[in-house]
Structure 1
């Protein structure tokens, strides 16, 4: 009876990571959109700037960016943990390496925020480039994750 419960938990734990990561991808697109809105505010005329500032895009970008950072880091750790629990090992694969790279890039990107707030344009441009890399790599990551999920489903049947 206990073995059946453990197998059930192992089976369903494998679906948590893909669901969280797909949701994270959608959030990543939205946070990126907000970031581009902030860039637009910075370069627009006074009237447009005043109207957009009232929408508090800056606050949403920072708050959802913090949530995004947590989801990516915890999703990475969770994915590795679930893989290890179910297979007694981690698979050294591009999916693992890109996941670790994404975690590093977004962590560095977020650490640039205090410099950006002081007006450092190099930090701002680096933040944008790193986050564009995160969007591209994370999109690839979700696609490669779908392939992994398909393999898991094939092994179940």
Structure 2
């Protein structure tokens, strides 16, 4: 693989993850709106239903799940291709943990569709933890990216 391509691949993972962090925020917004729709009085609910928030939350969540898993393994693949090894440290371990959290949260969907309140609360809690870790990942990832940038090929 050409050295310039290998170097430039280092930037694909951070760009994708920063985009997914924004998508996570949008998904959270839709989830809050879906809850307001579910719990609103009849008149307010009639207005909120027009926003299709629950359907949009499900769609954004599905896209987020797929791209987060892909982005996590993509980042690991690029690191391995460029270095011949993975650097086992907080950034990698938290990234894998985030992937597990979002998979667990998504797996609760059938139970939530059946009206299980505990599953709904667990879904929210797992996703809030995932977004909190995502914010930390953004900072630690920029530190890693800065090291890569400082050691760029001449």
Sort the TM-score into its range (normalised by shorter chain): over 0.9
**1:34 is matched with which residue: 20, 30, 33?**
30
**Structure with more of its chain in helix, by fraction:** 1
Question: Normalised by the size of structure 1, how large is the TM-score?
Answer: 0.95
1:129 maps to what in 2? 125
Size of the aligned set, in residue pairs, is 153
Structure 2 spans left out of the alignment, 5+ residues? none
**1:6 is matched with which residue: 2, 6, 10?**
2
2:58 maps to what in 1? 62
Q: In structure 2, what is the Cα distance between the partners aligned to 1:132 and 1:68?
A: 14
Q: CA deviation at 1:109?
A: 0.3
Q: In structure 1, what is the Cα distance between the partners aligned to 2:78 and 2:150?
A: 18
Q: In structure 1, what is the Cα distance between the partners aligned to 2:3 and 2:88?
A: 24
Q: In structure 2, what is the Cα distance between the partners aligned to 1:98 and 1:141?
A: 7
Structure 1 spans left out of the alignment, 5+ residues? none
Q: In structure 2, what is the Cα distance between the partners aligned to 1:45 and 1:105?
A: 33
RMSD: 0.9
1:113 maps to what in 2? 109
2:88 maps to what in 1? 92
Q: CA deviation at 1:31?
A: 0.2
In the TM superposition, structure 1's runs of 4+ consecutive aligned residues that sit over 4 Å from their partners are none
Q: CA deviation at 1:154?
A: 0.7
**1:75 is matched with which residue: 71, 82, 98?**
71
